[in-house]
Structure 1
Amino acid sequence: MTKDEVLFQRRVIDLANLADRRSMIMFSDFLNLNELNIYHSSKKELAFVTCRLFGGYETAERQMIAFIPDALSYDMEDTETKDGSLPYGWEFPFVCICIRPLHEKYTDKLTHRDFLGAILNIGIERNKIGDILLTDDGTYVFCHETMAELLCRELTHIRHTSVAAQITDLDSFSWQPVYETIHGTVASLRLDSLLSLAFGSSRSSLTSLVENGSIYVNGRLTTSNGYKLKNGDIISARGYGKFQFCSVLSETRKGRLSVEIKRYK
């Protein structure tokens, strides 16, 4: 690991120790895929607390960790949670903010990068911001609660578009990803075979992606091209996008597997 990665791992373990000493739940900031992978690789060092991951919705990429001491973790599993539920009324310290243009007629075609850049330009650090979801109804941003007021007050323009940002009810938030369903045949369920099908490139051209640490399966760094995927696995490829391996549909006479995947748009 790099020096920064070692420091991050120590920070995670320190938060777990603090939760244990104080008998209260402690939270990380929003973590990226690499940081989540470091967390997953540190499970043995964190065995004395229960950990929950949540990023606002079921398939969130950027997530927070809740470190739950034994005193509060009775009959709880060490796992991700779909709804962010925590014991004894605790809640993850982030809110959902909806950003909409003030005048639809004069709205630029804005991208994820436009929204992120505008948010960072008002002085909010990246680890205080979770996923940014662009929908037909508006753009939804998960933001640490300490930064929510600043974001809503200061975010008035994105490029040339005037916008308004306000906190929305997280309990009523729902989001369905937009994806393209792809059917094809592969020789096996190896990671490199499914990457080739998902992104329409040869296996050899994608080999370096895996070996260079650009592929994450369910948030865990995967560096083996021969890794066998399972139904429901979500694969993130830096610079390419994200897809979910759904299932094997059938087997051809030549022994190839007909599969279905969903590539997120």
Structure 2
Amino acid sequence: MDMYQHFRKEEHPFIDQVVSWREDVALKYQRRLSDFLDPREQKIVKAVMGNDADLIYQLEGGAENSERKRAVIAPDYEQIDKEDFQLILLQAEYPVKFVTMEHRDVLGAFMSLGIRREKIGDVVVKDGIIQLTAAAEISDYIKMNLTGIKRSTVDFKEVPWADRIESDETWTKRETTVSSLRLDVIVKEIYGMSRKKAGLFIEGGHVKVNFRTVDDGAFSLEPGDLISLKGKGRSRLDEVTGQTKKDKYKIMTARLN
């Protein structure tokens, strides 16, 4: 299939999975609901589905600006509604005066319960409130078993979508030029360090691209790739806007504040 050439080799198994979903829906005339997909996986779903005349699909994560979303693939004669994505908004409070809570603390608590990341959508931690979008099939398990995060007791309850709070996270964009699109070069540029130090972080397993650890500094990035450097936050390669007369790449990057 021609689409394989547009994606990395390590992404081919997920492409195969989406192709399987599409073929299964077309054969059985039964819709398919996915787990939560990261932005790169969502891009693959869109590429695989294309403009299939016999099927429809939609992505939904609870809000228009949701990062992680579930996909529904269905026969073209059906209608896809928001409730079909089986999303639940859960909320808990913690004493902000006594506990400093971060996004990673909440995710860590989930992982310790054996909950797969794919069952949880976006997480917002703000002003003593934790809100998360979860797959409906695990919401009761979360409410019963996730009773503590760090040193704080928490009690998750379902709340209406009208009560959803927005994250304060903002992205700062910057235009620059780089000699190549290698991971070590981009990390060096975005985080303001030497290429050698960037390479050490990468080789040490401290850098993720699209939520997967990459330990090869020569790894080639593409527009839309999400980068995270342990202890220094998340960033993104937004665009490659052209090349200079000296064959350097003009790029637009963004870093999460």
TM-score tier (shorter)? 0.5 to 0.7
Question: 1:39 corresponds to which residue?
Answer: 44
Whether the 8 Å CA contact 1:234–1:242 is kept in 2: the answer is no
- 1:123 and 1:259 map into 2 onto residues whose CA distance is 39
1:112-191 aligned within 5 A: 112-179=103-170, 181=172, 183=174, 185-186=176-177
1:154-233 aligned within 5 A: 154-179=145-170, 181=172, 183=174, 185-186=176-177, 195-202=187-194, 214-216=208-210, 229=223, 233=224
Which of residues 23, 26, 30 in structure 2 aligns to 1:20? 26
Cα separation, partners in 2 of 1:173 and 1:206, compared to 1, 3 Å: same
Question: 1:220 corresponds to which residue?
Answer: none
Question: 1:89-112 CA distances to partner (integer Å, 9 max, x unpaired)?
Answer: 6531121211212x455x432333
- Residue 143 of structure 1: CA displacement? 0.8
- Residue 135 of structure 1: CA displacement? 1.6
Matched, 1:111 2:102: yes
Question: 1:263 corresponds to which residue?
Answer: 255
Cα separation, partners in 2 of 1:11 and 1:116, compared to 1, 3 Å: same
SS at match of 2:154: strand
- 2:15 and 2:249 map into 1 onto residues whose CA distance is 40
Which of residues 69, 76, 80 in structure 1 aligns to 2:75? 69
Q: Unpaired segments of 5 or more residues in structure 1? A: 73-85, 218-222, 249-255
Whether the 8 Å CA contact 1:178–1:264 is kept in 2: the answer is yes
SS at match of 2:35: coil
Whether the 8 Å CA contact 2:101–2:125 is kept in 1: the answer is no
- Residue 246 of structure 1: CA displacement? 7.6
- 1:167 and 1:100 map into 2 onto residues whose CA distance is 12
SS at match of 1:134: strand
SS at match of 1:132: strand
Amino acid at match of 1:215: V
TM-score, normalised to structure 1, is: 0.63
- 2:220 and 2:28 map into 1 onto residues whose CA distance is 44
- 1:151 and 1:182 map into 2 onto residues whose CA distance is 36
Question: 1:17-72 CA distances to partner (integer Å, 9 max, x unpaired)?
Answer: 333344443211123467x1793596179945333223333444432221132223
Question: 2:6 corresponds to which residue?
Answer: none
- Residue 138 of structure 1: CA displacement? 1.1
SS at match of 1:201: coil
Matched, 1:93 2:99: no
- 1:214 and 1:157 map into 2 onto residues whose CA distance is 28
Question: 2:3 corresponds to which residue?
Answer: none
Q: Unpaired segments of 5 or more residues in structure 2? A: 1-8, 212-216, 241-247
- 1:234 and 1:28 map into 2 onto residues whose CA distance is 22
SS at match of 1:91: helix
Question: 1:50 corresponds to which residue?
Answer: 56
Whether the 8 Å CA contact 2:87–2:134 is kept in 1: the answer is yes
- Residue 261 of structure 1: CA displacement? 5.2
SS at match of 1:87: coil
- Residue 234 of structure 1: CA displacement? 6.5
